[in-house]
Structure 1
Amino acid sequence: MTKPAFAAAVLATTTILSGTAAHADLNLYCSAQEEWCQIMAKSFEEATGIDVAMTRKSSGETFAQVKAEASNPKGDVWWGGTGDPHLQAAEEDLTEAYVSPMREQLHPWAIAQAEASGDRTIGIYFGGLGFGYNTDMLAKAGLPAPACWEDLTKPEFKGKVQMANPNSSGTAYTTLATIVQLFGEEKGFDYMKRLHANINQYTKSGSAPIKAAGQGETLVGIVFLHDSVAQAVAGFPIATVAPCEGTGYEIGSMSIIKGARNMDEAKKFYDWALSVEAQDLALQVNAFQIMSNVGAAKSDKAPDLSAIKLIDYDFKKYGSAEERKRLLSKWDAEVSTLPQ
């Protein structure tokens, strides 16, 4: 594939694979940030000579696409995005079991993700959940800096908070599951209802709220901490908050799609993506997650997870198809329909 053709392929990130993808050696579904998806696809192609067609969608959207294509798979590898939908895909037999020879180089939490899925997915990065706010807007509004989840439900933040829709976004589903685990289901849904009253928009993408905060379109964005840090590093007036009550986290994951047409190439990408070489690419695109290879580089700007009060997130339960569907249905019925 020529460089112009490759650039066109990677930039067409919101379309279902067709045309060029039909002739690619590897069809990659990517649920990380746009720039990271592009550099992973391009660097793998350069390292191996394997042509790559990449589609970028949120983890919830990608899960829905993989499920819809189950009888005629078009993708080979699903890389990135929160682990819960990857675990659900594993449970629903949408992904292949594979044990990589790179596994011994990984952190225990990455291997635990594989073990929880019967080796149908694996951890590639770790990131805490929280929010960020626009410091200029906060000062102009004369508001106190929010430090806790509960602060975001206060009347003075009405219309000033943004988060993604948990049906399309892994970030937002992690938020919902975190709140339920943190406060209990009854109090957790009471919190989500009170938060709903202050939400100005539910976005499709999990990182969109903090980008909107950086642009001054909303005061607060609920996101993973590394996405908030990335906005600050990019020069936007963003402060990052790990909520005082405690918070959940994601184990970003990777899976081989069951029935992949290019299985050999899929396994080559899988192994390469777990290498130090591939994981060090994160810092080139200001992705500040903790990577799963113990030898991967870590930025001094990355959130210090040892200073964050993390809950004991139950990935097995909240990544299951039954619990995920139940919580989303309850959120749809009891929260999203409420007036704002």
Structure 2
Amino acid sequence: MLRAIQGFFTATAAALVLAASPASAEQRLTVAGYGGSYEQIMRTSVIPAFERENNVRIDYLTGNSSDNLARMQAQRGNQTVGVAVLDDGPMVQAVSLGLCGKLPDAIRDGVYPIAVLGDDHAVGTGFGFTGIAYNTKLFGERGFPAPTSWMDLARPEYRQRIAIPGIDNTYGVHTLAMMARIHGGSDSDIAPGLKVMRQQINPNVLAYESSPGKMSEMFQSGEIWLAVWGSSRVAAMQQAGFPLAIARPKEGAVVLMTAGCAIADSPEPALADRFLAYLVSPKVQEIFATQYGAGPTNRSTKLPPDVASRVIYGEDQVRTLIGLDWNVVNRNRADWTRQWQRQVER
């Protein structure tokens, strides 16, 4: 009898150990990404389906690109984040710092070539572009033509009616780079862009404003009539009913991608790759096109006409996008910032 009782407790203890073992614990993955409307879409329309389909728990960590990049650097060697979603520029920097794992072939081969970043270590999860946003109602009332060129920002009728994000923001970097390019410079020679910004654009700028909320307020109050901004920001205001449109300048609209990577040495590497593949799946790409205004980077994504008309969609449109050499930009960005602060945003 004693042996039987001992055997019972031994078996019970073994069962409890197995029940508490890591093999039976729920898998968890931490995803770091944007806040605001992007976070809302992730939490309501994207993450729940992945959790159900894979029997896992996703912890979503909110932060802007700079904050999340700094967090991953601080956690080097002891990463808690499995997947990060950043702007394309900071993402290329993350790759250069060795923070991202290699893309699985299936992810790389399913997207447009421009969406493969950092020597196959990161992938664009949505296309946007930087262009010139303008108040269509006000433009109509005043008889102004829709903007068609980056140099429309220098038109005298817009004096003190323009907002441009600062050099700390990707939109500001895009503005400076394009001004340099169309005036004989390049990503490696930014001097012509600084000169044009200082002499021709600056008199028209009411504010160098990087906050999306403040930019929205200035449009709504009528303080500004046009701004350098992103297509997804404009799409959000359009959905809210504000008469805003965005022009793709004839010299080119600069691609602005949300980009994802699986963090090197993360706790759940296979699960991280699975979630990254999910972000670029046609189903999720359609969700972000519809709700966020992000063009699909997956070439197989099919969009209904009303959605397709609002985003970057298809081979022909993707081919017109201009990309910056982010390796060059990131290497020189601190110097650009110093020059911008001395010469432009004074």
TM-score, normalised via structure 1 length = 0.76
Q: 1:188 offset after TM fit, Å?
A: 0.9
Whole-angstrom CA distance in 1 between matches of 2:312 and 2:297: 16
Q: 1:29 offset after TM fit, Å?
A: 1.3
Q: Which runs of 5 or more structure 1 residues have no equivalent in the other structure?
A: 1-22
Q: 1:72 offset after TM fit, Å?
A: 4.3
Letter in 2 for 1:261: P
RMSD of aligned alpha carbons: 3.2
1:288 to 267, 280, 293: 293
Q: Is 1:59 aligned to residue 65 of structure 2?
A: yes
Relative to structure 1, the CA distance from residue 309 to residue 101 in structure 2 (aligned partners, 3 Å threshold; closer, same or farther) is closer
Whole-angstrom CA distance in 2 between matches of 1:133 and 1:254: 30
Query: What is aligned with 2:332?
Result: 323
Identical pairs, percent: 20
Q: 1:214 offset after TM fit, Å?
A: 5.1
Task: Please say which of residues 25-34 and 307-316 is displaced more in the overlay.
Answer: 307-316
SS at match of 1:244: coil
Whole-angstrom CA distance in 2 between matches of 1:105 and 1:90: 20
Deviations 1:223-252 (A, max 9, x none): 223432443244211122112333322233
Deviations 1:105-163 (A, max 9, x none): 2222223x2xxx23221122223320211123345566554332222233432332223
SS at match of 1:132: strand
Higher helix proportion (structure 1 or 2): 2
Relative to structure 1, the CA distance from residue 24 to residue 176 in structure 2 (aligned partners, 3 Å threshold; closer, same or farther) is farther
Q: Which has the larger radius of gyration?
A: 2
1:31 to 20, 29, 34: 34
Task: Please say which of residues 322-331 and 300-309 is displaced more in the overlay.
Answer: 300-309
**Cα pair 2:132 2:246 within 8 Å, conserved:** yes
SS at match of 1:243: coil
Whole-angstrom CA distance in 1 between matches of 2:229 and 2:123: 22
Q: 1:96 offset after TM fit, Å?
A: 2.2
Deviations 1:187-213 (A, max 9, x none): 211233243443333344468635752
Query: What is aligned with 1:104?
Result: 109
Whole-angstrom CA distance in 2 between matches of 1:24 and 1:162: 46
Q: Which runs of 5 or more structure 2 residues have no equivalent in the other structure?
A: 1-25
Letter in 1 for 2:120: D
Q: Is 1:301 aligned to residue 302 of structure 2?
A: no
How many residues are treated as equivalent by the alignment? 307
Whole-angstrom CA distance in 1 between matches of 2:268 and 2:214: 32
Relative to structure 1, the CA distance from residue 275 to residue 143 in structure 2 (aligned partners, 3 Å threshold; closer, same or farther) is closer
SS at match of 2:95: helix
Q: Is 1:166 aligned to residue 167 of structure 2?
A: yes
Whole-angstrom CA distance in 2 between matches of 1:260 and 1:282: 26
Relative to structure 1, the CA distance from residue 57 to residue 165 in structure 2 (aligned partners, 3 Å threshold; closer, same or farther) is farther
TM-score, normalised via structure 2 length = 0.75
**Cα pair 1:209 1:220 within 8 Å, conserved:** no
SS at match of 1:51: strand
Whole-angstrom CA distance in 1 between matches of 2:121 and 2:56: 23
1:252-263 alignment, distance < 5 Å: 252-263=258-269
Relative to structure 1, the CA distance from residue 274 to residue 144 in structure 2 (aligned partners, 3 Å threshold; closer, same or farther) is closer
